[in-house]
Amino acid sequence: MASGGGTKAVVTALAANIGIAIAKFIGYLLTGSSSMLAESVHSVADSSNQFLLLVAGKRAQKKASEIHQFGYGRVRYVAAFVVSIVLFTLGGLFALYEAWHKYSDPHPIESWQWVPVAVLLVAVAMEAFALRTALKEAEHARGKMSLFQYIKASRSPEIPTIVLEDTGALLGLVFGLSGVGMTLATGDGRWDAVGSAAIGVLLVVIAVFLAREMTSMLIGESAMPEHHRAIEGAIPGGGVERVIHMRSMHLGPDEILVAAKIAVSAGSSAGQVADAIDAAEQRIRAAVPLKTQIYLEPDLYEAAAAAGPVAGTTAGDRRPGRPRLPARTPESPDSVRHAFRRGRPAGPGTTSWPAAGRAAGHEVSAASQRPTERATRARGRSGSRGSPRARRRPRRPGPRPRSR
């Protein structure tokens, strides 16, 4: 995993959820409480999720293969996405179904009335301990960011997932304890169904949020802003004049891909460019505490600056290094030819295109001054005077009618 801290948080949450799941199932079997059953299934879902995160963290350490040439780091994102699916279906939807079933056929808790309260209080204590461990690990990783900002911005899935799960579990226990308490106080089993429904809605919301974040990671997110700035600042120097543009993407929580177009001196030899690239790669690896896959493309910044923006693109979409064709001027051969096709003088002070061509130093033949065959056909299609369509069709041969 990303660190020992991530593994510690997952293992602590797994141990707590296994103990809580056993206690909740015993409480459900003794009382038949709907909230207890929903919480039992929730703890089973959490335990399976944490086991899945541990397996994915182990598999992500496999070396790159011929098929997966960038390694298996994204397996951890896949595992976290599956966690969201399990949390949505096995946790949230089951709790909502149990709430509907209990509300349509309510039953009060008639025996072992103290058991669900005692089990839920013990579960609250164990979940609070697991959440405290996860928050301590998040405190070391998030720096100056708030907890919510860290959960959204983190490129490591384990600690945010555990924080969300433990927070949801603790709130779910409060909802379950409220539903059981109201059922015991009023004798109305529908309060138990309300508690189960609140647990289901909470788990569905957490699952949707987690799935959205993991989908973004699977698509491919760039390096953290501070890492991106550190890499961009480490590249210039030692034969590299500047960074023309740079892209980064996380191949896994601990590994990033860096691709950049860099400007080198026009007088540099191939050996000097190779040495400059090697030095830049060393500076990048020293600037960020992550594994890096680096691809640098040398270019000349003067040509890139002369290219300018391409129509219909933004600054980030430009392709530097490809010079744009020079603009046409009245003195250029292209402008002379295009002016003739439009039927207007080539430039200021000229009266005809042959004169403009001769003034620019280009030979103009007599044949080129005649209208082209294409232009003649175009006038014929338009029905202009002298065209085949404009002339009267010849009379068919035969005797002329007699005049009376």
Q: 399 pLDDT exceeds 60?
A: no
The band of 401, judged by pLDDT with boundaries at 50, 70 and 90, is low
pTM greater than 0.75: no
3-class DSSP assignment, residue 179: helix
Q: 12 near 54, Cβ under 8 Å?
A: no
Condensed to tens digits (0 to 9), the pLDDT of residues 63-102 reads: 888 899 998 999 999 999 999 898 888 888 888 988 898 8
State whether residue 348 is helix, strand or coil: coil
Average the pLDDT over 312-330 and give the result.
Answer: 41
pLDDT of residue 296: 94
Mean pLDDT of the chain: 77
Q: Is the pLDDT of residue 371 over 60?
A: no
- 369 pLDDT more than 90: no
Token pair 């939807």: residue: 93
Q: Check if the beta carbon of residue 149 is closer than 8 Å to that of residue 142.
A: yes
Domain edges within the chain: 4-219, 225-317, 327-366
The one-letter amino acid at 183? T
Predicted local confidence at residue 322, as pLDDT? 41
Does residue 295 register a pLDDT over 90? yes
pLDDT of 390 over the 50 cut: no
Sort 84 into a burial class: Cβ within 10 Å, 0-12 / 13-18 / 19+: buried
Lowest mean pLDDT among 85-99, 147-161, 347-361: 347-361
pLDDT at 23: 86
Q: Determine which of 135-149, 205-219, 306-320 has the lowest per-residue pLDDT on average.
A: 306-320
Separation between Cα atoms, residue 44 and residue 205, nearest integer Å:
18
Structure tokens, 212: 């959205």
**pLDDT confidence band for 20 (50 / 70 / 90):** confident
pLDDT of residue 144: 82
pLDDT at site 280: 94
CATH number among 3.30.70.1350, 2.70.98.30, 1.10.3470.10, 3.40.50.300, domain 225-317: 3.30.70.1350
Q: What is the mean pLDDT of residues 333-337?
A: 38
Task: Tell me if 4-219 shares its fold with 225-317.
Answer: no
Taking the alpha carbons at both ends of the chain, their separation in whole angstroms is 114
**What is the third-level CATH fold of 4-219?**
Alpha-lytic protease prodomain-like (1.20.1510)
Confidence of residue 227 (pLDDT cuts 50, 70, 90): very high
In angstroms, rounded to a whole number, what is the distance separating the alpha carbons of residues 106 and 93? 19
- For the four alpha carbons of 379, 384, 386 and 388, in that order, the dihedral sign comes to positive
Between 113 and 104, where is the model more confident? 104
